[in-house]
Amino acid sequence: MKIEGEVMFLRSRRLREGTAIRDLVRETELSVKDFIFPIFVVEGQGIKREISSIPNNYHYSIDQLEGVIKEVTEAGVAGVIIFGIPNTKDHIGSSAFDDNGIVQRAVRRIKELNKELFVITDVCMCQYTSHGHCGVLKEWKVDNDASLEYIAKIALSHGKAGADMVAPSDMMDGRVQAIRSVLDENHLTHVGIMSYSAKYASAFYGPFREAASSAPQSGDRKSYQMDPGNRREALKEIEADIQEGADIVMVKPALSYLDIIREGRNMIKVPLAAYSVSGEYVMIKAAAKAGLVNEKSIALETLISIKRAGADIIITYYALEAAKWLRER
């Protein structure tokens, strides 16, 4: 009974009373179709080797891809993103745009195994250059405009190999326009671009750099990757990439940049991806191994926070494990 003049308080708990009502009113749901799974491909034969810095993820030689592609397909994961680790490196990363390079051959093999699986390729130079930077050097500085030619050549070679989408991660100004132009000129208008638009110079990349042998041999990447303190700059980068022709934009890392994901989502109409990077993944793994957290619960909570912030697509090393956990619910 309400007494006259008394303000009735909100009874939000009525919508939390049981599982059925909580399911009915849940605002954000995770799906395996949200996930992209990273795959690291190496030269050689018969190789399926666990990556010491990223537990439960592996280096695969091309002849061993069948197993992981079967896992991805059976899990219902939407697609994969391919990272190549070559045997040879030089100052211009020439193996990156070799039509018979590691990524190019991996793409062709994956499409033989499952032509319907959506295949994205990481487009960068750091794994392929002897100096470990994401572009060509001039007087020990990354030359932005000279690098565009090579970045575009890499993307073109991936498109010719059968990639559905290329994902430039180099953070050179103008790269999306350069890639879109060369793809279109070569009748690859169907190949999409997922741009690493807001890629921060983050300490969370450490385990990946060990996995991909991509750490710079001198200096750092702060002259081309973004300052973690900058928010408005991220929105500017996202907008510029869309204007240049990006089909999907990305924020990387994810967990420490949920504010950027949300602001980007509010600003744009194209799909937005978030890369939950290696450092985010291994922190949970390490805490779980130490018995400090429930891995399944905290991993799924982390992923749903990324989606709730506004990500349409989540690139995650947890894709296969999360798919299993979601089926068990």
Q: Give the residue numbers annotated as catalytic, written as ranges.
A: 199, 252
* Dihedral angle computed from the Cα positions of residues 51, 52, 56 and 58, in that order, rounded to the nearest 10 degrees: 10
Q: Residue 198 has what DSSP assignment? A: E
Handedness of CA 55, 221, 155, 184 (dihedral sign): positive
- Based on C-alpha coordinates, what's the Rg of the chain? 21
**CA 74 to each of CA 4, 45, 78, 79, 220: distance values in angstroms, whole numbers, following the listed order:** 61, 24, 11, 12, 40
Distance CA 112, CA 62 (A): 12
Tokens of 268: 């744009």
Tokens of 286: 């390490």
Q: End-to-end CA distance of the chain, in Å? A: 40
DSSP class per residue in 106-168: HHHHHHHH-TTSEEEEEE-STTTBTT--SS-EETTEE-HHHHHHHHHHHHHHHHHHT-SEEEE
Residue found by looking up tokens 């191994």 in the block:
289
Q: Which residues are registered as beta bridge partners of 121?
A: 82, 166
Residue found by looking up tokens 């890392």 in the block:
253
Distance CA 29, CA 45 (A): 40
